[in-house]
């Protein structure tokens, strides 16, 4: 077995084996969507396995699209890549070249693209974390940016230095920082302007370690881990983007098509699981309104699929990954 290198681990998509296994349940798909291209790992996996499939790949990060295009060059005849948020799936068809839309007679009567398999790997890529200029990581000193789309005006520094203490506390609380959210927000407010990842990490360490020491609590990760994640999620409106996508997603799955979502945050996983369970039930409509006679499909993963110990050892990022899978109702025989 070839030894793993840092480069191999960095570019190996999380839950690769599990994603392929669940995607194979579709049969032989003809149209795929990778809504979070990143470095192109999941796209490469799917294109290699499904040799007749065409893949549309999206990412908010222009640099990610460029990296993925290079990686997926051997499949250039079967891909269309675009800098775009997966949240805008409802408008995707109007933004595609005619030859792409016609790939499988791709427009249904409602002019929606119908995908046989849709994959989302939420969160952040190793390439983004490893670039100090992007400001995503406290492991490198750099500007507090955290924008996935660099055309967006507001950065992490903008948010930290202009928001009220109340808004900052709410941001950290929603992001999972917990009871110390208010204390962290107040300390940031008192130290403003905060302009670098190093400065923010030091504030997080000072406040959160002090608070946990009083309670006798210990944690295996750096105190800045959760606050940085919470700030990144807020800067990029990640929860709102996911909610917008989930509101439209069933309409873009072909009969028997599957939606695979990998999340890294408990609230993301809760949103995904809740929606998939809702789609799997027969709705009871308010009085006077018709109810659905059948569910939209079925939730295939009763419990979230997690990485096995070997993958976690090779790729620590996989530790918090949770995969949920939904299958659209198949056409009646």
In a domain, 146, yes or no: no
Question: What value does the mean pLDDT take over residues 300-304?
Answer: 96
Question: What value does the mean pLDDT take over residues 222-236?
Answer: 96
Residues 47, 114 within the same domain: yes
Tens of pLDDT, residues 171-211: 999 999 999 999 999 999 999 999 999 999 999 999 998 75
Residues 261, 229 within the same domain: no
In a domain, 319, yes or no: yes
Helices (H) and strands (E) in the chain, counts: 14, 7
pLDDT score, position 221:
79
Question: Given a cut of 80, is residue 10 above it in pLDDT?
Answer: no
pLDDT band for position 110 (cuts 50, 70, 90) = very low
Looking at the DSSP bridge assignments, the partners of residue 80 are: 56
Residues 190, 114 within the same domain: no
Q: Find the range with the poorest average confidence among 25-29, 36-40, 244-248, 313-317.
A: 313-317
What residue ranges in the chain does DSSP mark as E strands? 31-34, 54-59, 79-83, 115-121, 253-263, 297-299, 322-328
Question: Given a cut of 50, is residue 323 above it in pLDDT?
Answer: yes
Residues 91, 188 within the same domain: no
Assigned token pair, 195: 């302009």
Residues 65, 109 within the same domain: yes
In a domain, 132, yes or no: no
Return the CATH number at 231: 1.10.150.170
In a domain, 140, yes or no: no
With a CB cutoff of 8 Å and minimum separation 6, the contacts of 265 are 122, 123, 175, 176, 229, 233, 320
Residues 196, 257 within the same domain: no
pTM of the predicted protein model: 0.90
In a domain, 164, yes or no: yes
Domain boundary among 211, 235, 259: 235
Tens of pLDDT, residues 12-21: 899 999 999 9
Query: Which is higher by pLDDT, 145 or 317?
Result: 145
pLDDT band for position 283 (cuts 50, 70, 90) = low
Domain boundary among 235, 252, 281: 235
Residues 122, 243 within the same domain: yes
Tens of pLDDT, residues 73-91: 999 999 999 999 999 999 8
pLDDT score, position 289:
57
Q: How many domains does the chain have?
A: 2
pLDDT band for position 287 (cuts 50, 70, 90) = low
Residues 320, 193 within the same domain: no
In a domain, 136, yes or no: no
Q: What's the domain range around 23? A: 6-126+238-328
Q: Find the range with the poorest average confidence among 48-57, 102-111, 236-245.
A: 102-111
In a domain, 82, yes or no: yes
In a domain, 10, yes or no: yes
Residues 169, 74 within the same domain: no
Residues 71, 192 within the same domain: no
Return the CATH number at 17: 3.40.50.150
Residues 101, 16 within the same domain: yes
3-state DSSP of 174-189: HCCCCCCHHHHHHHHH
DSSP 269-325: HHHHHHHHHHHTSPP-PPTTSPPPSS-SEEES-SS-B---HHHHHH-GGGGG-EEEE
Exposed, middle or buried by CB within 10 Å (0-12, 13-18, 19+), for 112?
middle
Residues 171, 248 within the same domain: no
């Amino acid at each position: 077995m070839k030894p793993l290198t840092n480069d191999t681990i960095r570019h190996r998509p999380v839950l690769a084996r599990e994603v392929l296994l669940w995607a194979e349940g579709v049969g032989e798909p003809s149209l795929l969507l990778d809504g979070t291209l990143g470095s192109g790992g999941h796209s490469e996996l799917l294109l290699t396995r499904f040799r007749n499939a065409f893949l549309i790949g999206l990412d908010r990060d222009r640099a990610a699209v460029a990296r993925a295009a290079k990686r997926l060059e051997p499949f250039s005849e079967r891909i269309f890549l675009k800098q775009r948020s997966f949240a805008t799936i409802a408008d995707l068809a109007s933004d595609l070249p005619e030859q792409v839309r016609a790939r499988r007679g791709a427009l249904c009567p409602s002019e929606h693209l119908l995908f046989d398999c849709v994959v989302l790997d939420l969160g952040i890529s190793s390439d983004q974390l490893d670039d100090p200029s992007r400001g995503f990581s406290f492991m490198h000193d750099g500007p507090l940016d955290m924008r996935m789309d660099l055309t967006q005006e507001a950065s992490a520094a903008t948010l930290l230095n202009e928001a009220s203490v109340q808004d900052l506390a709410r941001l950290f609380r929603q992001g999972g920082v917990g009871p110390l959210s208010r204390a962290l927000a107040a300390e940031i407010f008192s130290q403003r302007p905060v302009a670098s990842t190093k400065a923010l990490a030091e504030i997080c360490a000072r406040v959160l370690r002090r608070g946990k020491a009083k309670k006798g609590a210990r944690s295996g990760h750096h105190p800045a881990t959760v606050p940085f994640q919470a700030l990144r999620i807020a800067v990029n409106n990640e929860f709102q983007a996911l909610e917008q996508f989930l509101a439209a997603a069933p309409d873009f799955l072909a009969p028997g098509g599957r939606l695979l979502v990998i999340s890294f945050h408990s609230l993301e996983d809760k949103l995904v699981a809740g929606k998939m369970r809702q789609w799997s039930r027969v709705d009871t409509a308010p009085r006077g309104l018709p109810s659905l006679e059948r569910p939209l499909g079925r939730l295939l993963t009763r419990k979230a699929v997690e990485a096995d110990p070997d993958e976690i050892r090779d790729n620590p990022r996989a530790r918090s990954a949770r995969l949920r899978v939904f299958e659209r109702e198949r056409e009646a025989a």
